[in-house]
Structures are given as C-alpha cells and as structure tokens.
Amino acid sequence: MAKAKEPVNSGPFARRPDNSAFKQQRLPAWSPSLTPQTVLPIFYCLSLVCVLLGVWLLITVQSTNQLKVDYTEAGSCDHCLEMRKDPTNAKTVCECVVNFNLPKTFLGDVFFYYGLINFHQNLRRYMDSRDDAQLVGRKKRLKSPSSYCEPFDYNEHSVPIAPCGAVANSMFNDSFTVVYHPTDGAQELVPLIRKGITWYTDKNVKFHNPKINTTLQQAFEGTAQPLFWQRPVYELDFIDPNNKGFINDDLIVWMREAAFPNFKKLYGILNRAHTPFSHGLSAGNYSVQINYNYPVQYFKGRKEVVISTVTWFGGHNPFLPIAYLVSGGLIFIASIVLTVVYVKVGRYGKNMEE
C-alpha cells in the first residue's frame, strides 16, 4: 500500500519561516565599521560642539540680572516670624518692611518672584494630593472630593473642602509691594502686573470655575476653605472678579509643583507703561512691604523675593551651560585617552596580527 504524502506544514521543518528577504533578514542594511579613524573624529567633534554650546549659553545666562532678598527674619520681619510660630496667631495680620539696594539698572522686562527654600513639592504623596476633576469645575467633585485629597478632603465638620488636597492647602499666601526711593527723598510705588502670569494651558484648560447662573459665592456654597487658608477660594482676589475661584492666577501658579526643594514662582511683572519704569527697574534704594502670613518653621525653610530679567533662554540658571561644559570636557578627556590607547596599543596589536 502506498504511503500517504506528508503535509507541507508538518514534520521537522513546519516552523521554518518563508524563504523571503524580510523573514530571512536579507534586506539591504548599512553596517558601519567602527574603527579608530571614524570614532575618534566623532568624539572630538562632539566635545567641541558641547563646549561651544556651553560657552554660548553661559554668556547668555550671564547677561541676565538677578537679585534675591531673603526676608524670613530680615528687617522688621523677625517679630512676624516669631508670631507665626504660634498656631493661635495664624489669622493675625502681621506686616513688615525690608530695605534693599539694587546695584545696577535692570533694563527691559523685570519679573518678580517669591522663593521658598527647603520646601519639597516633589514628594509623590504630596503631588497626588489634589483633585484635577474638581479644579476643572465639576460640581459633583465639589461635594465629594477625590480620596487622593485625604486628609484634606473634608474639614472637622465633614464639609467638603474646595480646593482639596495638600497642594492647595499649603498655598503660599504672603503678599508684598515694592517701593522705590529716589535720591530726592520721594517714594514711588513699583507697579506690577498680577494677571497673565500663568501658562495658557493651565488657565484655559486645566482650571475652570463651576458653570453657574448665580454668583461665584453661591457656586461654592456647601464647601469649606482649606484648613490653612485665611479666606475662601471665591475671595482670592478682592479687585478683579475674573481672577477669583479656581481661575485665580496665584492659585494656578502654585498648583504647578516645583521639581526641586529650592524654587521660585512668578508673582508679578513690572508694568513698564508707568514712568519712571518705562526702561526697566532703575538702580537705587528700594523697600518691600510684606504681608507676612506663610509659616516656614515647620519645614525649616526660608522665604525670599527674587527680582530677575530673562532672555530667550530663560532666567538666571547656569545649570545647563555648566552641564554642557562638563560633558564636553569629559568627552574630550575620553578622546585623548582613546587616542593614546590607539597609538600605543592599537597599531602595535595590528602589526602583530599582520
């Protein structure tokens, strides 16, 4: 009896791929041959590029001006610092004044920041302690905050908090005004633009007030202010009704967490439409009048006012230029080492093989 013919897809070659250029990996490809003649020039060129970029960025950064005024316990703020150490005085108003000198004129646009030292906004539990659905104005989340906000989701009377979470609860609430003291003995208030200091996506996408047909206060009815706040969210700005609630610029700026424990956040921009500040911030004597509210003793931190100019590269931050210079130097050292190894060992090894 004749033996049945074995199927094509059976037997020891059943799992063999098709004999095609793709499945048998015979497609055209470029396989570079890494030799000292090709690798060493790349290393030298890469080190040169890094050094040139580092020098260029360093010159750009040095063209910016920056002045930091630490007011934690400077001037008349020392008594405010002692007052804030007592929790019973948390809502007591304390104002202080710190004098400083601007050594040279800051030309162009001048930005005013508040800075915090040793405040870790980059902790995972802290960053998760917020309710983004609540911040976009969803009414259901106003009355039932996310569990991520615990223990800052309800107050002691089981009333939902808006905005909830540790990030909003720890919002920076110092305020300050800067006064210029010309040589003639007069005083000039430095005008600041306090709106338009947020990212466009934050202001128009991530933060919205609840859609209502009544007042903003009635929209937040049935909610409580964060535990450490001095007033509810619908009163964050007494002057501009379009800067209250979840769309308040200061709240939005604070809710974008910083990556490092020492950081600064934008407070205002010099309004150059007013004289004598049309050209920038003149050199001379200044004072900053501070409404001192934010306690720093809990995290052993410090507070400061930062005045700075910016370029296309940003503010005064030499980290990236230094990183480029260090990287270029390390690559150049590695290139020298590889060159010496090739001259001393590579050629000799090649001659021995021949």
For 106-126, what is each residue's pLDDT tens digit? Answer: 999 999 999 999 999 999 999
CB–CB of 303/114 below 8 Å? yes
Distance CA 274, CA 280 (A): 10
Task: Using CB atoms within 10 Å of the CB of residue 323, give its burial: 0 to 12 exposed, 13 to 18 middle, 19+ buried.
Answer: middle
Q: Which of 272, 327, 249 is nearest to 57 (CA)?
A: 327
DSSP string, 71-106: -SSSGGGHHHHHHHTSGGGTTS--EEEEEEEE-S-E
For 263-297, what is each residue's pLDDT tens digit? Answer: 999 999 999 998 889 999 999 999 999 999 999 98
In this prediction the pTM is 0.83
Q: Is the dihedral angle over the CA atoms 195, 196, 199, 204 positive or is it negative?
A: positive
For 117-154, what is each residue's pLDDT tens digit? Answer: 999 999 999 999 999 999 999 988 999 999 999 999 99
Q: What share of the chain is helix, strand, coil (3-state, %, to 5)?
A: 35, 20, 45
Q: What is the DSSP letter of 268?
A: E
Distance CA 305, CA 72 (A): 10
Helix (H) / strand (E) element for 251: namely helix 249-255
For 309-330, what is each residue's pLDDT tens digit? Answer: 998 888 888 999 999 999 999 9
Distance CA 326, CA 331 (A): 9
Q: Which of 299, 349, 324, 278 is nearest to 117 (CA)?
A: 299
Name the β-bridge partners of 193: 269
Residue 352 predicted with pLDDT over 50: no
Tokens matching residue 60? 């750009």
Query: Among 29-38, 300-309, 333-342, where is mean pLDDT lowest?
Result: 29-38
Angle between helices 319-341 and 36-62 (to 10 degrees): 160
For 31-80, what is each residue's pLDDT tens digit? Answer: 888 888 889 999 999 999 999 999 999 999 999 999 999 999 988 899 99
pLDDT reported for residue 13: 65
* 54-60-66 Cα angle (round to 5): 120
Q: What is the DSSP letter of 89?
A: G
